[in-house]
Amino acid sequence: MGNVFWNTIDAIGLCISRDLIFRATSTKHNIYARGFFARQVLVVAETYHLVADLGGTNVRFALVQEGKAVPEHVEKFANNDYDSFEEAAQDYLAKVDALQPDKACIAVAAPIHGEPINLTNYGWQLSAPALCRQLGLREVVFVNDYQALALALPDLKSSDRVQIGNHGCGVKHGTRLVIGPGTGLGVCGLVRAGEHNLPVSGEGGHISFAARTVQEVELMQAVAGESSVVSAEWLLNGKGLERLYNGLAAISGRQAVSISAREISQQALAGNLACVEALNLYCRFLGRVAGDYALIFGATGGVYLGGGILRRFPEFLAASPFRSEFDDKGVMGDYARAIPTFLITARHKTLWGACAWLRQGA
């Protein structure tokens, strides 16, 4: 409609901030009231999309302009404050007082295999038709949250990450891997195919964890609880650090105290010996699992650690057994040692990946 307007009548447009003022010199089209038509031109000129990062605890929303890479107006909402994702999205759109988004890309902490989509670690269910209807969207696409984060890797700047260990820069255009603990444990590879980057995801967080020593077997029995399988996610998600802390207390005969994962990491940084032991073990197990994934994916382009948990203690992570455990791969030790590892320090990169998904139509 914008092209029809400018080709049909002689108009002069002036854009000041988000308000458009114009003067039409043809009486043929005076039917278009100034405010109404200015609004129509503005909508044509600025098409926005909604992007979201939906985890088991929080959801983050942002808007992105058509064809752009950078999300704007980022806001975080606690899942517990809403009965549904749609309700949280409506609250966000009302809060930013935005133009109506055209379509949406929702990065979800769940497997994406048809609809409806059931959030893995929370009771919400999502479907594209319902979201389109309730939010007035033309189209909704769902993507696994770590697929989205993987798509953000090529755009990371040096200031967006810190290297863990000194193991070079990796193979240019080599396969990259991102892994991150949060409410769950996300895993995704990024494979270069010609001029495109293809995210390859699964449910790698749910692989069984392999104990190596008699003490570790005893520890696995202590932390298993009611779970029939001690998975990587069981040990490495947000609750995993608490399980390790309590498990170590149990096998050593020490009285455990009720303490959260955040408090364990904080007290470890302050020098509490029991917390230091638990956090070191957590980092060791993370290194083992990350090294296993690196071998599976052939991640010669590097392994990237995401999620908010690890950003709380980057120096501790760098000094921990993480990297030595990553490298300890027997006959494939040299292969593992050549793979660089990075901690993503920048925030909201999953939203950047959702923007990339919309841009390239992945």
3-state secondary structure of 33: coil
Q: Is the pLDDT of residue 2 over 90?
A: no
pTM confidence score: 0.81
Task: List pLDDT tens digits, range 120-172.
Answer: 878 889 999 999 999 999 999 999 999 999 999 998 999 999 999 887 788 98
For tokens 């989205």, name the residue. Answer: 148
Please choose, from the candidates 92, 103, 107, the residue with its C-alpha nearest in 3D space to the C-alpha of residue 62: 92
Q: Which pLDDT band holds residue 276 (cuts at 50, 70, 90)? A: very high
Backbone angles phi, psi at 230, to 5 degrees: -90, 100
Q: Which residues are bridge partners to 164 per DSSP?
A: 341
Tell me whether residue 297 is exposed, middle or buried, using C-beta atoms within 10 angstroms of its C-beta: 0 to 12, 13 to 18, 19 or more: buried
Give yes or no for a contact between 176 and 153, defined as CB atoms under 8 angstroms apart. yes
User: What sign results for the dihedral spanned by CA atoms 320, 292, 197, 55?
Assistant: negative
For the structural domain made of 48-150, what CATH number should be given? 3.30.420.40
Domain 157-345 top-level CATH class = alpha beta
Could you tell me where in the chain the CATH 3.40.367.20 domains are found?
157-345
Q: Which pLDDT band holds residue 359 (cuts at 50, 70, 90)? A: confident
Cα–Cα distances (Å) from 10 to 3, 22, 120, 236, in that order, read 12, 10, 56, 64
Eight-state DSSP code of residue 58 = E
Strand order in the sheet with 176-181: 161-164, 341-344, 302-305, 176-181, 185-193, 196-201
Could you tell me where in the chain the CATH 3.30.420.40 domains are found?
48-150
Distance CA 272, CA 257 (A): 13
